[in-house]
Structure 1
Amino acid sequence: MLELHCHTTYSDGQLTPTELVITAAEAGVKALAITDHDTLSGWEEAFQAAASYNIEIVPGVELSTVYNERSLHILGFYPDKNKLENPLKERLNGRKNRANQILEKLAQLGYPIELEAMGEGVAAARPHIARAMVKAGYVQSPQEAFERWLGEHKPAFVQYDKFSSLDGIQLLKSCGAVPVWAHPYLYQGGKIETVFQELLEAGLMGIEVYHPHHSDSQIQRLEKLCEAYGLLKTGGSDYHGGGTALNLFNLSLNLLEPIKQTAYNLKEAVIKSQIPSPYLG
């Protein structure tokens, strides 16, 4: 009944925060994390909607970072919004620039498109471009757009701005957020165990163990890794709307309390340290 990885229309999800809350309630979810890419803009609407459906909202974010020149995502739970919003503005601007570069490449390849205007705080993403390509009649589905043009190593692909995973972890902790490695077995830049060690040294505090793209054996390996290093275990459907269902793992709410306590301890430590973060100036 715990969902700790979901996206809304403020990043690359297909449902508004209100629609996501309603869908989660229908699926039996009792605690729902809003983890849009590089933006916190969906929180307020989700909090308002959740009041009518007896759902607890877990405020979160999914940072798009790079490790060994490959995409690696870091989830952050319970960040201080006032501290994290300004640093995220740079990430949002980087996403807009990336989207424009992709559009330029597509136009040069003979596939000019225009994106619909996006509201304040929306994180531009490749799925927005993929849906625009479908609307323009260039492809039959967003999946085809990724397979032919937008996926890694495809003709219109553009890499993220180089914001390192290590810096991402430190940024989240400086804002009182619990940093968690999202879907480790989707990472394609090195062996999980090797990458994990450096993330751990940077301050990683948890691993997303339960994910639709993790096999049973991979889940067992990650569970053992968490137990060996005393890390938090999280999980979720990585819900964007459409194909994947919510509440896939029927995770216990008992996983949430240690995350809350860790976030509280982090915020207390940040206050007591009185050391300004280099990311907040």
Structure 2
Amino acid sequence: MLELHCHTTYSDGTLTPAELVKKAAQTGVKVLAITDHDTVSGWDEAIATAINYEIEIVPGIELSTVHNDRSLHILGFYPNPDLIRPALQERLAGRKRRAAQMVASLAALGYHIEMPELGAEMAPGRPHIAAALVRAGIVKSSQEAFDRWLGDDKPAYVHYEKFSIQEGVSLLRECGAVPVWAHPCLFRGGVISEVLKELVEAGLMGVEVYHPNQNSREQKMLLELCAEYGLLVTGGSDYHGPNLESREEDRSLNHLHLPIELLTPVKTAAATLYQDLRMKGFQDF
């Protein structure tokens, strides 16, 4: 079984990379992608742990871009770490600035919170702020925090810093990563077919067709678009771990039961990108 979209405590997941690998093994996952938001710091721990569980780790990332003033996420699979890590420093710094602005906005509204200490390579996000609101006793749940202040266009919401889809796709490809549009049916900034055309023109190579928030009708539509443009098809549960408030799963790991064969074309595409990098003097990892 295949999981190509999962998060750890290095971004907004609730399991460490090692814990995620162990959980994946328990649920029958054989291939697991680590796709934290704007950071690749969870790879090493996941790879080291996976040796003991005979799980193949797919190094990945979920890159945050902005299109039509809305957040649009692009997954990248198999980026060269020596190239992607320096390039992500500004993205990570932007996430920290955004989090600080949201904390300041909450303070201006009369709600003062303390953010938890995060490692230098961890990417802060709205779930961290929501959790801080819960700890402070201001709200009873993270969902309440999003509903009242942190959701899109709510009083304390702050947009991502400008980083276009063209810049995002270009960055991933220049680092050897296969760029894939994450959960397109969740995007609220335009018609999917029109936005996909722009992404393809920018160099997009695939679409996340299988996702918990995309029903069978939407999957069929996305598969048809992939066939039209010759795009790769991927999928994943977008797993963030157990909800620490209720101890329930945010999304069930491996419940999509995706076949490992979906990964083969992605690996082939990555090999092609890496051949281009080798011609430019870079080595595989």
* Category of TM-score, reference length = shorter chain: over 0.9
Give the C-alpha shift of residue 221 in structure 1.
0.7
The offset of 1:120, in angstroms, is 2.1
What count of residue pairs does the alignment treat as equivalent? Answer: 275
TM-aligned CA deviation for residue 262 of structure 1: 0.6
2:52 match: secondary structure: coil
Please show how residues 161-176 of structure 1 align to structure 2 within 5 Å.
161-176=161-176
Aligned pairs for 1:189-204 (under 5 A) are 189-204=189-204
TM-score by length of 1: 0.96
Gaps of 5+ in 2: 243-249
What is the CA–CA distance in structure 2 between the aligned matches of 1:155 and 1:68, rounded to whole Å? Answer: 20
- Please report the RMSD computed on the Cα atoms of aligned residues, expressed in angstroms: 1.1
Q: Return the offset for 1:225.
A: 1.2
SS for the counterpart of 2:253 is: coil
User: In the TM superposition, what is the alpha-carbon distance from 1:249 to its structure 2 partner?
Assistant: 1.2
What secondary structure, in the 3-state scheme, does the structure 2 residue paired with 1:51 have? helix
Distance 1:15 1:260 in 2: 26
For structure 1, the 5+ residue unaligned runs are 276-281
1: CA distance, partners of 2:20 / 2:281: 38
Q: Secondary structure at the match of 1:262?
A: helix
Q: Any idea what the Cα deviations from partners look like across 1:91-121, whole Å, max 9, x if unmatched?
A: 0100111111001010111110011111121
Aligned-pair distance for 1:13? 0.3
The answer to whether residue 132 in structure 2 is matched with residue 125 in structure 1 is no
Letter in 2 for 1:69: D
Aligned match of 1:252: 259
Mapping for residues 220-239 of structure 1, pairs under 5 Å: 220-239=220-239
Q: Following superposition, which runs of at least 4 residues in structure 1 exceed 6 angstroms of deviation?
A: none
> 2:194, 2:230 → 1: CA distance?
17
| Of 226, 251, 268, the match for 1:261 | 268
| Aligned match of 2:96 | 96
Compute the displacement of 1:251 (Å). Answer: 0.6
Structure 2 distance, partners of 1:71, 1:119, is: 24
Tell me which amino acid in the other structure corresponds to 1:102: M
Quote how far apart the aligned CAs of 1:270 are: 3.0
In structure 1, the partner of 2:180 is 180
Q: Distance in 1 between matches of 2:151 and 2:69?
A: 15
- Identical-pair percentage: 59
Shift of 1:76: 0.1
Residues 1:76 and 2:76 are matched in the alignment: yes
Partner residue of 2:245?
none
Describe the superposition over 1:124-170 as per-residue Cα deviations: whole angstroms up to 9, x where unpaired: 11100000100100111111100100011101000001011111001
Task: Answer whether contact 1:27 1:247 (CA < 8 A) is retained.
Answer: yes
One-letter code aligned to 2:263: L
CA drift at 1:273: 5.3
Q: Distance in 2 between matches of 1:41 and 1:219?
A: 31
Corresponding residue SS for 2:158: coil
Question: Given residue 248 of structure 1, which amino acid in structure 2 is its aligned partner?
Answer: H
C-alpha distance 274-44 of structure 1, shift in aligned 2 (>3 A): closer
* TM-score, normalised via structure 2 length: 0.95
Alignment-derived partner of residue 211 in structure 2: 211
Q: CA deviation at 1:272?
A: 2.4
Shift of 1:271: 3.0
Do the aligned partners of 1:236 and 1:248 also contact (CA within 8 Å) in 2?
Answer: no
In the alignment, which residue of structure 1 is the partner of 2:44? 44
Deviation at residue 230 of structure 1 after TM alignment: 1.4
Partner AA of 1:89 in structure 2: Q
Q: Does 1:147 align with 2:147?
A: yes
1:201 to 1:273, Cα distance in 2 relative to 1, 3 A:
farther
| Cα distance per residue 1:52-103 (max 9 Å; x no partner) | 1110000000000001111000000000010010110100100111111001
